[in-house]
Structure 1
Amino acid sequence: MRRHLPFLLLPTVLADTFDPLPLIDPLIGSTNGGNVFAGATRPYGLAKPVADVDGQNTGGFATDGSNVVGFSSIHDSGTGGNPSLGNFPLFPQVCANDEVNGCNFRIGDRATAYVADSVIAHPGYFAVDLVSGIHADMVASERAALFRFVFPEGENQHPLVLLDLTDLWQSRQNASINVDSESGRLKGNGTFLPSFGAGSYMMHFCVDFFGGAVYDSGVWVNNRGGTEPKDLYVTRGFNLFYLEAGGWVRFEGLANNTVTARVGISFISADQACHSAETEIPGPLDGDFDRLATEAEDAWREKLDPVSINPGGASKDLQSSFWSGLYRTMISPQNYTGENPKWDSGIPYFDSFYCIWDSFRVQHPILTIVDPKAQVQMVNSLLDMYQNEGWLPDCHMSFCNGWTQGGSNADVVLVDAYVKNLTGIDWELALKAIIQDAEVEPLEWAYHGRGGLQSWKDLLYIPYLDFDPVGFGTNSRSISRTLEYAYNDYCLSTLARGLGYEDLYDKYVTRSANWQNLWSDEQNSTIKGNDTGFTGFFQPKYQNGTWGFQDPIACSALADFCSLTTNPSETFEASIWQYQFLVPQSMSALIGLMGAEKRFVERLDFFHTSGLADISNEPVFSTVYLYHYAGRPGLSTKRLHTYIPSSFNTSNGGLPGNDDSGSMGGFVVFGMLGLFPIAGQDVYLISAPFFEEVNITSPLTGQTARIKAVGFDAAYENIYIQNVTVNGQPWTKSWIGHALFTEGWTLEVVLGNQESDWGTKVEDRPPSWGEAIVKL
């Protein structure tokens, strides 16, 4: 079988220059529900070609042993729910008896297994062999993809490449295609549904073929193709039955049995798709393939360049987890500048915020450190959506609003950028946008804004079975929405005070305490009839102030999963046991409600050791580090080591759940840095790093932050911080601010194998607004 060794395996940098790319494995999370995009892409690139399979295909490709059904040029990464994008896949094959109708057109018929050990995934490059003997490899520019299909040698055959007017989800509503009989160019478009949201989007394509002459061409419907007509328009089909259809081209006189396909993608028009492809890939047979791969590698090196590590003996697998996690944080959101069909504000435009409920916690904070320019552009894109669509989104993909999962968490992203002093953002506009979330209920709050605001203002909580005639959404999640609205209001108060609006600060910081109104002091929790020994949990409450009931373990890993649509509950995708810890603005008050530090630590331990904690879901991330707030920061590091590398490792199934646009990657990166961000606050919790030294140079200031571990051992017996210095001076606080990065401080931690008294004093714990309910 013909194999192409990619040029990118050759040395591309000087021997004394560290290159992180060989340590990046895009296949981490390519099975076991990680749903990562494993194909070729540039940082935040629109074009994302990969092989699409009929198994775990949310990100297109999976190493689950399923079959390849196409090669498409645009994807999202790490998402849950329905597969996203994967529009207009190509599929190469040799027709039986050299007859068009000897080919397999329909998805189920053409599905072909791939050779497992043939898969090559590298930043900017992807390759795979099919058991049919066809080899495929691919690279990407910003808005176009380049595929090479190498067919097995054979006489009197005319290889065929088809285009399917579909997407991964088969959500197509209608589509059209034109086949140029002379050149074989395929042009057209289709209307599709977003995989997790409302509305629809239109996408356009332009495909050109190189390497041989056109033998014949035409269109196909279901399992038959013909040379006439050359144009086709298709809807979903009779009674919404999904009609499979597209176009095809056969070739003759192929050089080296290779067809090269250039695919332009556009949300504006097919002509723009052609223009992007012609401009970005003018010479598909004249070195563009290698050039695109090299440019992608260079782009990734540039993005990763601010970071360097001295592993100090840490394993190659841990280094690979670190660099691969950082890589995945820069796949999405995607830069769609010039491709917005709805408006053009003349500024960079990013989309595929899929979804902010996941990404606000760690992904956007890591970008704020290592790629603040892109983060500013993303924040401005969110404000651009507010100005042109009327609201900040909580989720957005394919120019459509995604479903809101909890609160209005774009608020947190904006305020996190503010407290970390990002510039080039209209903060007065940001304040206006967030106040609208807090004060004005949209008619349909299922995909932006907040529902139940009248109850929020009058009752100071979101009631169970709320009467809300003002707006409409899924009438559920009363507990998780109460907690998230409270933190959204806290973030709003932070921005208001920073801009000098003390009256607004007082109003919203007071509202940020509303979470306490759903705390039931008497509620206990049992598992299989056995009392857990803990009393006091959040519970739903009716409008009249009486308590409802939700079992605290419901929606946990010990019970049934609770989704937004199939079995909505009063907590979203997580249990009351999980949500009880999510009060980042007032942890001291929460600790008081739970019986002071000792009982809080015992409750955290039980949560993480009983099977209740689901590290595959982002709300658990912060709970790993909450020991800091109880004066036990060493236990945070100890807890982290129970998840890395057991749940986060370099295997193909090495993520515990959906990567969620790089959120899982961000968690790994921060954990190994020895820091954890409290998004919306200028707070990083300090823990023991996984490497001897990490350096991060701020792209804004040019200053280099240094995180050094004294007494580091790669066996991780010394994981407890004994003392800390910052710029050579003692630092007793268990947290630090963003100036570490912008001012280039040196953070030095001395490690040992036993807990110390560092960071244990009340005054050295992370900040917490409000008085503790029980005196600590």
Structure 2
Amino acid sequence: MVSACAYSGAYPTGYGLYTKNTEGVPEAMFDAPQASGFTHFQQSGTGAIRKYYNYVRVTPMVQPLDCLGQAWALHDEVAEPGYYAATLDTGVRSELTVGAKVAVHRYTFPQTRSARVVLDLSCGGLAIDHGRTVPLRAHVEMVGPGRAQGTVVVEGVPLSVYVEFDTPRWRQMLWYDRRLIEGGTRLDFDRIRQTTLRPFGLLFMGSAAAGQSVEVRIGFSLRGCEQARRNLHRECGEGELAFDDLRARTSANWSDHVGRVEVQGGTDARRQVFATSMYHSLIKPCFGDDESPFWPTPGPFAFDVCTMWDIYKTEIPLLAAIVPDRAVDLLESLIRVCEEEGNFPIGYRMARGADRFFRQASALAHTALADAHALGLGDLDWNWALVHMADDLRRMYGEDYYEHGVVHPITHTLDLAYAYHCTAGVARAMGDPMLAEDMVARSRLWSNAFDPATGLLVDSSFYEGGKWNYSFRLIHDMAGRIALAGGDAPFVRMLDSFFGFGADPVVQPGVRPDPTTMAAGYALNRFEGLNNEPDMEAPWSYHYAGRPDRTAEVVHAALTHQFGTGPGGLPGNDDSGGLSSWYVWASLGLFPIAGQGLFLVNAPAFEQATIHLAEGDFTIETSGHRQAPISSDGFDRPPAPQYVQSARLNGKPLDVAHLSAATVHAGGRLHLELGPEPSEWGSKFRPPSLSDPHGTGARP
């Protein structure tokens, strides 16, 4: 539930250095990493987060309180799963670690007669235009020596904290508008507005010997200070030094989860990026079990689903594979949101009301629900889930789709047709054939989104994209979609044009590109790289046209030229781990077709990999794998892609370039023979489609 990191006030995507931008190279706000303190609750590499989070700023200071908000350069940074450390210009060594519902800070001071640890409960958002969070109500009070608690209502959510400080000889005081309140034990704010907000909080102050460390322990809850106190004591004990123990437990927990996919071979850089991608894939969504402020009952409460558009294709299938209990908890939480608020959310943050991001997409939860039902995950009430799935299809854009068979933005037509397909599978399995047949009929209306004259989507508005990158989505009837484009050869030519085969390199725009430059770039109708959600699945469209060799080339180029170690090692926003999950699957030589219970097979980046699943291990092993060299900039540069020459599943020949999800989840061994030249493997039998369930020319 809790995250903690250095707070610069800049946009978090881009190492906390840049202002928000949507075109060209981002503009730097600062020359180097800096922080005005350390905050809690973060987004993870998403787009327009605006003002959410960065709550409860903790700042170690050797200056007067007047200097609160000043930023200091960060030196000697260390970042590990569950741990962050840096030294401020003031000489204070700052370390952070977290648990499920707690954070512990440890600050090591230089010798000073006036050390301070300041908690700012008014802080939130970013130091960019329209980026600030303004709390609505708040209270903070002292409850004993080294003890305090408070609640701040932010974005309609009551965020409560319980604070313990381990140096009883230091004074503790409340402050308001950077002025100490002598003798005060409680602050109350019944109504705060943008024009009336002044910073407020509490501090601990005293003298420090050189090298003296102090700990601040914070328990969090969305259900009041008493539950925040219980959360803190459950994880950290009562009045004990907790930092090292908590850090060790959190590190072990992360090691367990990251280790649920193991790889062998490849270069050090590739293995480092892979492990980092596993970590990023598991940061979001956040689970605050028994913490929902919107309904009183216990159970899973998931937030930072930001957004389903980011995570439904790659990340949720990864969660279903390696942490299936948490994947089910996410779905149970989404069903509860739909029950309470009337919609399955597209985005859901720690904020009042489903942050639906309705412009992005429609009805994406249906995809994950269909996969979970087909795999038999969890013990959800599927009759109740089916009711919500069916009802949700008629909401918002869904009503126009139901009445007219098409809706704009046109991508929502594809979303809704796909959701009908997913819901039909659940209805059929639940013994409701009439509902299933009605759903199947409506799922066939995907064709209304395409122009037969061009083979592309019809003109419309598009969210962060255009008709070309959205035209190669992996829908439930790829056989029909390819036929609409004129067949395999024309479809492959369109894909080749999109990915720039045989075309001149594209010059990337710089800082603040002018409209003419951007318009010329958009007019190229080219693949943007893996910096946006619609582009993550497009390379795999080649599989459906009998050209898995082309998939291998595009995926190889993305893995080896767009990802590296260190800051800047991602090609775009990580999108709550959606992009990193793509890297994990692509490196394994697999790609999940969410909602269809299917994996596409490709040449992997590692000699061998093992996914530890609930039913047993699934191992992907290779022969003929070449280890890539490593260049000085930390990016792998293998000379050429590799192609699958033949495959065996559990010792038997595999002629198709796909596997059922049930096969993968049951465990087994996939052996891929690799070579330097394209082969005929996987080109004859296609992945199943609605209008061709056995694959073109495939055996029954």
Please say whether Structure 1 and Structure 2 have the same fold, judged by a TM-score greater than 0.5: yes
Does the Cα contact within 8 Å between 1:176 and 1:231 map onto a contact in 2?
A: no
Q: Post-superposition shift, 1:220?
A: 2.2
Match of 1:613 in 2: 527
- Distance in 1 of aligned mates of 2:378 and 2:603: 31
Q: Retained in 2: the 8 A contact 1:179–1:217? A: no
Query: Equivalents in 1 of 2:210, 2:144: separation in Å?
Result: 19
Classify the secondary structure of the residue corresponding to 1:114.
Answer: strand
CA contact (8 A) 1:52 1:60 kept: no
Are positions 1:290 and 2:249 aligned together?
no
Q: 1:467-513 CA distances to partner (integer Å, 9 max, x unpaired)? A: xxxxxxxxxx5211111111111111121222232222221112112
Q: 2:314 and 2:7 mapped to 1: Cα distance?
A: 29
Structure 1 pair 93–483 and aligned structure 2 pair: CA distance change class (3 A)? same
How far, CA to CA, are the matches of 2:239 and 2:45 in structure 1?
Answer: 30
1:616 and 1:56 map into 2 onto residues whose CA distance is 17
Distance in 1 between residues matched to 2:432 and 2:496, nearest whole Å:
41
Residue in 1 that maps onto 2:140 = 178
Q: How far apart are 1:604 and its partner, in Å?
A: 1.1
Whether the 8 Å CA contact 1:759–1:765 is kept in 2: the answer is yes
CA contact (8 A) 2:40 2:53 kept: no
**More displaced 10-residue stretch of structure 1: 236-245 or 205-214:** 236-245
Task: Give the corresponding residue for 1:147.
Answer: 105
| Other structure's SS at 1:696 match | strand
Counterparts of 2:344 and 2:14 in 1: how far apart (Å)? 26
SS at match of 1:394: coil
1 CA distance for matches of 2:43 and 2:12?
A: 11
- Out of 587, 590, 596, which is 1:675 matched to? 590
Partner of 1:272: 227
Shift in Å at residue 720 of structure 1?
0.8
Correspondence for 2:93: 135
CA distance in 2 between counterparts of 1:148 and 1:210 reads 10
Question: How much has 1:185 moved relative to structure 2?
Answer: 2.8
**Cα deviation per residue 1:361-401 (whole Å; 9 max; x = unaligned)?**
00000111111121122122222223333332222111541
Deviation digits for residues 383-429 of structure 1 (CA, Å, limit 9, x no counterpart)? 22233333322221115411222111011111121223323222222
For 1:55, the aligned partner's letter is A
Distance 1:146 1:251 in 2: 20
Q: How many residues align?
A: 640
Out of 462, 469, 478, the residue aligned to residue 409 of structure 2 is 478
CA deviation digits over 1:702-734, x for unaligned, max 9? x22111111111135461111111111111111
Given candidates 306, 325, 328, the residue that maps to 2:277 is 325
Residue 451, structure 1, aligned to residue 397, structure 2: yes
Q: Deviations over 1:641-679 (max 9, x none)?
A: 121132222221111222122111100000000000110
Contact 1:56 1:62 in 2 (8 A): yes
User: Judging changes above 3 Å, is the alpha-carbon distance between structure 1 residues 508 and 687 closer, same or farther for their aligned structure 2 residues?
Assistant: same
CA positional deviation for 1:321: 1.3
Q: Which runs of 5+ in 2 are unaligned?
A: 19-29, 127-131, 501-523, 629-637
The reply to whether residue 766 of structure 1 matches residue 679 of structure 2 is: no
Distance of 1:437 and 1:452 partners within structure 2: 8
Farther off after superposition, 509-518 or 84-93? 509-518
Instruction: Give 1:300 deviation, angstroms.
Output: 1.6
Aligned-partner Cα distance in 1 for 2:99–2:81: 13
CA gap of 1:500–1:693, structure 2 versus 1, over 3 A, is: same
**Equivalent residue runs for 1:260-409 within 5 Å:** 260-282=215-237, 286=241, 288-311=242-265, 314-400=266-352, 401-402=354-355, 403-404=357-358, 405-409=360-364
Contact 1:220 1:248 in 2 (8 A): no
How is 1:668-707 mapped onto 2 (pairs within 5 angstroms)?
668-699=583-614, 701=615, 703-707=616-620
- Give distance in 2, aligned partners of 1:191 and 1:748: 55
Alpha-carbon distance, 1:683 to partner: 0.9
SS in 2 for 1:650: coil
Tell which deviates more after alignment, 160-169 or 488-497: 160-169
Cα RMSD of the aligned pairs, angstroms, is 2.4
Larger deviation: 743-752 or 256-265? 256-265
Taking structure 1 as reference, are residues 260 and 517 closer, same or farther at Cα in structure 2, changes over 3 Å only?
same
Q: Distance in 2 between matches of 1:640 and 1:493?
A: 32
CA distance in 1, matches of 2:418, 2:313: 12
Distance 1:676-1:239 versus aligned 2 partners, 3 A rule: closer
1:581 equivalent to 2:472? Answer yes
SS at match of 1:661: helix
Q: 1:460 to 1:771 in 2, by over 3 A?
A: farther
Structure 2 contact 96–104 (Cα < 8 Å) conserved = yes
Task: Report the AA paired with residue 75 of structure 1.
Answer: Q
Q: Residue 665 of structure 1 aligns with which residue?
A: 580
CA contact (8 A) 2:61 2:115 kept: no
- Give 3-state SS (helix, strand or coil) of 1:422's partner: coil
TM-score where L is the length of structure 2:
0.86
Q: TM-score, normalised by structure 1?
A: 0.78
The match for 1:209 among 140, 165, 169 is 165
Task: Give the whole-Å Cα distance in 2 for the aligned partners of 1:413 and 1:399.
Answer: 23
Tell me which residue corresponds to 2:71: 111
Q: CA offsets, 1:567-593, max 9 Å, x none?
A: xxx211211111111252111111122
Range with bigger deviation, 359-368 or 495-504 = 495-504
- The match for 2:680 is 757
Q: What secondary structure sits across from 1:213 in the alignment? A: coil
The 3-state SS of whatever aligns with 2:452 is strand
8 Å Cα contact 2:474/2:593 also seen in 1: no
Whether the 8 Å CA contact 1:268–1:341 is kept in 2: the answer is yes
Unaligned runs of 5+ residues in structure 1 are 1-45, 194-199, 442-449, 463-476, 523-534, 541-549, 551-569
State the alpha-carbon separation in 1 of the partners of residues 318 and 85 from structure 2.
30
- Asked if 1 retains the 8 angstrom alpha-carbon contact of 2:499 and 2:527, the reply is yes
Superposed displacement of residue 337, structure 1: 0.8
Q: In the alignment, which residue of structure 1 is the partner of 2:516?
A: none
1:325 CA displacement: 0.9
Aligned residue for 1:187, secondary structure, equals strand
User: What is the 5 A alignment of 1:419-458?
Assistant: 419-439=374-394, 441=395, 450-451=396-397, 453=399, 455-458=400-403
**For residues 195-234 of structure 1, what are the alpha-carbon distances to aligned partners after superposition, in whole Å with 9 as ceiling and x for unaligned?**
xxxxx2121112221135123523121x444425443334
Distance 1:382 1:421 in 2: 18
SS at match of 1:132: coil
* C-alpha spacing 1:177/1:214, structure 2 compared with 1 (3 Å): farther
Amino acid at match of 2:263: I
How far apart, CA to CA, are the structure 1 residues paired with 2:490 and 2:190? 61
- 2-side partners of 1:719 and 1:344: how far apart? 54
2:123, 2:627 → 1: CA distance? 49
Query: Any idea what SS the aligned residue of 1:262 has?
Result: strand
What's the counterpart of residue 95 of structure 1?
63
1:525 counterpart residue number: none
SS of 1:747 mapped into structure 2? strand
**1:341 deviation in Å?**
2.0
Within-5 A mapping of 1:448-527: 450-451=396-397, 453=399, 455-462=400-407, 477-522=408-453
The residue correspondences of 1:57-68 to structure 2 (distance < 5 A) are: 57=12, 65-68=32-35
| TM alignment of 1:150-229, pairs within 5 A | 150-154=108-112, 156-169=113-126, 170-180=132-142, 183-193=145-155, 200-215=156-171, 217-221=173-177, 223-227=178-182, 229=184
Deviation at 1:285, TM superposition (A): 5.1
Query: Shift of residue 83 of structure 1?
Result: 4.6
Partner amino acid, structure 2, of 1:766: P
Shift of 1:142: 1.4
Give the match's secondary structure for 2:103: strand
Corresponding position of 1:78: 45
Identity %: 26
- 1:69 matches 2:27: no
Label 1:175 to 1:88 Cα distance change in 2 as closer, same or farther (>3 A).
farther
- The verdict on how the C-alpha distance between 1:635 and 1:667 changes in structure 2, with shifts beyond 3 A counting, is same
What is the distance in 2 between the residues matched to 1:167 and 1:148?
A: 22
